[in-house]
Amino acid sequence: MKINVVYFFRKPFTDYFSIEELFGNIRNGMPKNIEVSNYCLKRESKGLLNRVLSCFEVIGKQGQINHITGDVHFVAFLMKKNRTVLTIHDLEVLKRLN
């Protein structure tokens, strides 16, 4: 039985692609019964309106398993909770908090 996994990525930036590259390598190492697809958001994750619209954008793009990557964790609000994985890659900002 095939399992459908959808990776959700931020809108691509011209200078930043490390997360996408990492998940390309992970995708290549998946077992044959896991079908992986990528979904890139259409809007940048800047501003309240863009973020709200992105939350609605992903509703119809979900798979059996949804894996949110990078800085677009806010799209989880309207996704199926029991089928969604959130990976936070960078905790550097915590060092800067007082």
Measured in whole angstroms, the distance separating CA 66 from the mean position of its chain's CA atoms is 8
pLDDT of residue 89: 74
User: 69 CB contacts (<8 Å, ≥6 apart)?
Assistant: 7, 8, 9, 19, 23, 87, 89
Q: How far apart are CA 81 and CA 75, in angstroms?
A: 11
Confidence of residue 17 (pLDDT cuts 50, 70, 90): low
In tens, the pLDDT along 43-82 reads 998 899 999 999 999 999 999 999 998 789 999 999 999 9
Residue 12, token pair as written in the block: 């691509």
Q: How far apart are CA 2 and CA 76, in angstroms?
A: 24
pLDDT of residue 48: 95
Whether pTM exceeds 0.85: no
Confidence of residue 18 (pLDDT cuts 50, 70, 90): low
Answer whether 45's CB lies under 8 Å from 52's CB. no
CATH of domain 3-96: 3.40.50
pLDDT of residue 22: 73
pLDDT of residue 74: 94
